[in-house]
Amino acid sequence: MDHASRAIVCAVMALLMGCGCDSTGPELTWAKVAGTYAGEVSGGSAYGQLAGTLTLTLTQDGEKLAGSYVMTGNVTAPISPGPVSVTGPVVGYLEFKGESPILTLSFYEPNCGTHGYASYGGYHSPAREVRLNYATFLVCGVSNREFTVGAVSLVRH
């Protein structure tokens, strides 16, 4: 093998062994989702219509999310109209690494036992926004009421 051929073989071997470039690109990390978010919610059920505000505070450990929420608002007829306030824990996780991952959050109402409803959506890093396709809340106490709100957008403060 002549000198030029050996040089080409050595250059190709160096690239194959990872000494030339990294074809995988930069390593992805978990989006930084921890923070406090707030936004308007509205929706309903057989119990009436709900309109209010949702405040969500999240902590983060890698893909795992935890925290609390406060949903305050007003329910219109037909059953038990009036103001509502629900406070409880929320747990969830990110589906994959990157700046705009899919996320799942489950909202729990302590007065209703251990049942929580999973809500699916995503996190949009550039806008610092949690977007949920929908969220279901239990309003317990005098009567157990379930309300589903659609398309929730919560912006980080």
Every domain of the chain and the residues it spans: 27-156
Length of the chain, in residues? 157
Any idea which fold 27-156 has? Answer: Lipocalin (2.40.128)
- Residue 11 main-chain phi, psi, to 5 deg: -65, -45
Mean pLDDT of the chain: 82
Q: Which two tokens stand for residue 104?
A: 């799942």
Local confidence band at 102 (pLDDT 50, 70, 90 cut-offs): very high
Q: How far is CA 53 from the centre of its chain?
A: 17
Residue range 108-143, pLDDT digits in tens: 888 777 677 889 999 998 899 999 998 888 777 655
Q: 91 pLDDT exceeds 50? A: yes
* Residue among 53, 75, 56, 78 at smallest CA distance from 65: 56
Query: Is this prediction's pTM over 0.85?
Result: no
- Which 3 state secondary structure label does DSSP give 111? helix
Q: Does the pLDDT at position 77 exceed 50? A: yes
Q: Please tell me whether residue 15 adopts helix, strand or coil conformation.
A: helix
pLDDT at res. 17:
47
